[in-house]
Amino acid sequence: MQMQVLGINYFVLMKFFLNHKKFFIVTFLLLAFYFPSFSQCDFSGSISVSASGFESGLGYTQEYILVNDVSDEILAINTTGIFSSLADGNYRIYAINYLGSRPTEIAVSSDWANFVANVSSYCVDYIGPYSGSAVTFCEQICLGTDLTVSTSGYTSGGNYVQKYVVVNSSGNIVATNTSGTFSGLAVGDYTVYAVNTDDATVKTEIDDLGAWSDISSASGCLDILGLKYVNVAAGPSATFTVIENCGSNEFNIEVDVSSLGISSSVNIIDDTPTTYESAVGTGTYTLTGFASGSTQTIVVEDASNSSCNDSESGLTFTCSSADIQICTGTNLVVSTSGFEAGGGFEQKYIVVNSSGNIVATNTTGTFSGLTSGEYDVYAVNTDNATLQTEIEDLGAWSDVSSSSECFDMLGPKTLDVQDCLILPISLLFFNCSLNNKIVEISWVTTTEINNDFFTVERSKNGIDFEFLIKSMGAGNSNTEIHYSEVDENPYSGTSYYRLIQTDYSGLHSTSNIVSVNLEHNSENLGLDISNVELYPNPVNDMLNLKYNFNSDYGNVRILIFDVYGKALSEQKTTSLFGVNENNINTSNFAGGVYFIKLISKNQLVVKRFVKQ
């Protein structure tokens, strides 16, 4: 079996110097390859070659000739030996030395074989070819796109196994399989090889995902084809924010294109599809006119490569037709004036449910304890005792509205009572640290709503958790509260901890996981999001959100809630490893306390801010 390294065969041929009646050996030296910057990945490259041992002196000229290995066409001639902007393919390169004028057969677009057939007519020497059977430079794919490679011509049968191997820029094997299709490659630069071997040791070394040098320098029987350069790069990145426009019974979508990634420009498209914006750069674009209640998908697409895009589906907003909207647990307050007063006249406010029954009435206009649902609210003024009794009996509204008795009525005002999400706690931090073989566990809340208790759980592997400690919550609080517990008998090695919060209804939320090693300091495990900062806080208009994203790539949902848990805005951003920043416009928010929630694949973070 012939060893083929990097898919390149080298030939050093003996040539002759004809008209001077001399015969000698010259050497052909491949100096270097130059490949394009991975950050640009032009899909082209340069090859540099040189030759030595030629006759020198007055009148001699040395040139290099690039030949298409398939068509035998001369593609380029120069004196430097550097050929740039080559596409993937097979080529031959020759070095030629001649006295006087260049042979007429040596010309761009001419046939190399024609020169070889007439070489004896000239005072010329040439050497080569260098055969580049794998002149493959760079393939660039978008993050999230599968890489697919293939090859053929290997020995098959027996114990031979063909493996495709992906090697990162550090020289380590990160993936291998027999199919040639790879998913989930992170942003970065890679080289891809195909290896064929029947050597059990080599097979094991490949599967162990060790250093590529262990394979390429192996003494076992193997063939290597490659290398193929691959750059995985992030495509465009955008955040999508729904903005209500209920005055027109519509909503708008704000698209903030924060990064073009590898794209030169992007198209912004809805799912009709209608291109709202074509070939645009970074910046904020507002799409308008979406009907209330409709659901939209917006795509930010690479203008030249539709496989590279960012998108968000399920973008919707429904404008309520109700005159009044409140959350359950919130008082309804209504008022009116202009009714006749005095004598036996009594003004009553009446709440009627969707079944047409009176569920509440009083003279103040303030109602508490209404359950979720739709209602009509009326004001009735009457001095008729029978009618007043029918109202107090909370019967059918039709008995009042159709009465022949004397009364005045205003309304209805439509009312929508919703079960709003109330954020149970705002957790400032959860931390575990080692102190003389004891793990000290601490956490701080800045607000608590209907918070019953906390549970600290512990695990040996970060997956299977068990109960450790229960700590009672504060119920309701809007001040900073510090909690602390200890684990006097942590596991040998590493112990993993998490905090579970449970409210009075039995619902619970889970913190991030923190690990402590008996011989090391604590460290975060599997945290997508860390070091979240909000500033300025309090804020007048623009709120800056800054956080570290600890994975290579992922989506983070950013939601803002008021103190009643009502969602005011939601957007999705594509986060890359390192520091990520977002700007949030709060100019339309009323003064008060708000909560911002960041949700990733495996984590939820809630922070509190104040709008002045």
Distance separating alpha carbons of residues 483 and 473, to the nearest angstrom: 9
In tens, the pLDDT along 282-298 reads 887 888 778 888 888 99
Give the CATH number of domain 427-518: 2.60.40.10
Q: What is the pLDDT of residue 376?
A: 92
Burial label, 364 (beta-carbon count in 10 A; 0-12, 13-18, 19+) = exposed
Longest dimension (CA), the chain: 138
CATH class of the structural domain 527-611: mainly beta
Question: Of 136-145, 160-169, 327-336, which range is least confident?
Answer: 136-145
Q: Give the percent of the chain with pLDDT over 90.
A: 15
Residues 30-34 have a mean pLDDT of: 28
Q: What is the pLDDT of residue 35?
A: 29
Instruction: Please determine, looking at this structure, whether the domain spanning 237-317 carries the CATH number 1.25.40.
Output: no
Name the band, by pLDDT with cuts 50, 70 and 90, for residue 52: low
Q: What is the pLDDT of residue 138?
A: 61
In tens, the pLDDT along 306-330 reads 667 888 888 888 776 667 777 777 7
In tens, the pLDDT along 503-541 reads 887 777 777 777 777 754 434 444 567 778 888 888 888
Phi, psi of 320 (to 5 degrees): -75, 140
| Cβ atoms 279, 268 nearer than 8 A | no
- The CATH 2.60.40.10 domain(s) of the chain lie at 427-518, 527-611
Token readout for 196 is 């064929």
Burial label, 410 (beta-carbon count in 10 A; 0-12, 13-18, 19+) = middle
Distance separating alpha carbons of residues 60 and 95, to the nearest angstrom: 13
Question: Of 98-112, 327-341, 346-360, 517-531, which range is least confident?
Answer: 517-531
Token readout for 245 is 């426009």
Residue with more model confidence, 319 or 209: 209
Token readout for 254 is 């704000």
Distance separating alpha carbons of residues 100 and 20, to the nearest angstrom: 13
Total-model pTM? 0.39
Q: Give the percent of the chain with pLDDT over 70.
A: 78
Burial label, 111 (beta-carbon count in 10 A; 0-12, 13-18, 19+) = middle
